[in-house]
Amino acid sequence: CWVCLVVLGYLFEKMVYTQNFKSIIFAKKRAHAKYKVSCYPRDYNEFFNLRARYKFEYKSCYKSFLTQTQCLLKTYPRFFWDCPKK
């Protein structure tokens, strides 16, 4: 999953989440709702594990975003400076 800025409508694209990351988000939401209804410790443990996986995936996507953005800014610095002018 990589992310970059939207500049001039091309070259830099929006953040793209992997399908795995999306499935973790939805599973985490379902697990949290299930825990809120039942209040069972087992349901909380399931939610806790999904939350940990979510944080790990999010950090890896963000690191990928930084790497990709820095690479694109080194290659095409003009696009970065054209954006504030408009």
Q: What percent of the chain has pLDDT over 90?
A: 40
Here the tokens at position 49 are 């594990």
Count of helix runs (H) and strand runs (E) in the chain: 3, 0
Give pLDDT, residue 79. Answer: 65
Give pTM, 2 decimals. Answer: 0.68
Q: Which long-range contacts (CB under 8 A, 24 or more apart) does 7-15 make?
A: 7/79, 7/80, 7/82, 7/83, 8/79, 8/82, 8/83, 11/72, 11/76, 11/79, 12/69, 12/72, 12/79, 15/61, 15/65
Q: What is the pLDDT of residue 65?
A: 74
